[in-house]
Amino acid sequence: MKIDILGVQAFVAIADFGGFQKAAETLYVTQTAVTQRLRNLEDFLGVMLVERTTRSIALTSIGKDFLPQARRLLQELSSTLNEIRETGKAQRGDVAIACVPTVGIQYLPQIIQEYSSRFPDNRIKILDHASLRVAEAVLRREAEFGINLAGSTHPELTSVPLLDDHFVLICRDDHPLAKRRSLTWSQIQSYPLIFSGDVNGNRALLDSYLGSKSMDLDLHFQYEVQRSSTAVGLVASGIAAAIVPNLAIQKGSYPRVRIIRLKEPVISRQLALITRKSGYLSPAAQALYDMIKPLKF
């Protein structure tokens, strides 16, 4: 069914301003255009809405009944169009992103805080998944984009390098290594360690470095967990030292935990922004994506 919005608009203006000339001035069109729009609407409805004489106009009984409905129709249309316009400006909208868990601990909060201050009406859903699930979430459109470990990328995804995250040793302040500012990997071989399992992709990355012939280290991984946040909690309890990405611990959150740089070699994982090649980011998501992309940790 075709809705004659211009005709409804002309009818309401004629009723509100009491004549064709005033209505034309308000709508910034000619009087002839207003007359034609009303005539088209009346022809479409098959009824007369306005009685015209050479000296005055008056609404018919049908016109009087229709007027409040016409006003409501225009108001609802205006509200809907304004809502879409605001969404197009990234002023309103929901955003879903996927990321490896460590990104949500130290990196994302400052960005989310700034985004929320600029777009307070936007809701953000963060899917903190293991590395493989981050890519799946983007591919399945559960998330508009993701922050994942760089590496082999699905052919339907585009990857943009974001930042390098170094692996560090963390231990409690009463650990024998707590006073060291940096350590080589060989210097930690004799100590029991906590490490995150294969689920987050960190183990495979470290094994590729540490298991090479040039290093051939045999680290003492006495405890294995699934998430780096669990490793941090165990370290804070004095269980053992742990190897985690630097982003895994929020500075100041565990006063007794010390962060020690690991060197020879410095090993880091690269994080990347991933999106679907054929995907379209909503304006709200694009605004968040643009705020993340230029930052360096």
Count the domains in the chain.
Answer: 3
Of all residues in the chain, the percent with pLDDT exceeding 90 is: 45
Distances (CA, A) of 168 to 64, 100, 235: 76, 17, 13
Does residue 297 sit within a domain? no
Q: Are residues 260 and 283 in the same domain?
A: no
Domain boundary, last residue among 69, 88, 107: 88
* CB atoms inside a 10 Å sphere around CB 55: 5
Long-range contacts from 211-219, C-beta under 8 angstroms, 24+ separation: 215/185, 215/265, 217/185, 217/186, 217/189, 218/189, 219/185, 219/188, 219/189, 219/193, 219/195, 219/243
Mean pLDDT of 118-147: 92
Work out the pLDDT band at 275, boundaries 50, 70, 90. Answer: very high
pTM: 0.67
Q: Are residues 47 and 15 in the same domain?
A: yes
Give the C-alpha separation, 168 to 182, whole Å: 9
What's the burial of 245, exposed, middle or buried (CB within 10 Å: 0-12/13-18/19+)? buried
Q: Are residues 124 and 183 in the same domain?
A: no
Give the C-alpha separation, 85 to 111, whole Å: 24
Q: Are residues 155 and 282 in the same domain?
A: yes
Pair of tokens at residue 96: 């879903």
Give the C-alpha separation, 122 to 117, whole Å: 10
Q: Are residues 212 and 129 in the same domain?
A: no
The lowest-confidence range among 25-29, 128-132, 212-216, 245-249 is 212-216
Helices 5-17 + 31-45 axis angle, to 10: 120
Q: Are residues 157 and 175 in the same domain?
A: no
pLDDT at 194: 94
Give the tens place of pLDDT for each residue, 53-105.
Answer: 767 788 899 989 999 999 998 888 887 777 676 656 555 678 999 999 888 88
CATH number of the domain enclosing 228: 3.40.190.10
Domain of 104, in residue numbers? 94-161+271-292
* CB atoms inside a 10 Å sphere around CB 103: 28
Work out the pLDDT band at 106, boundaries 50, 70, 90. Answer: confident
Cα Rg of the chain (Å, integer):
32
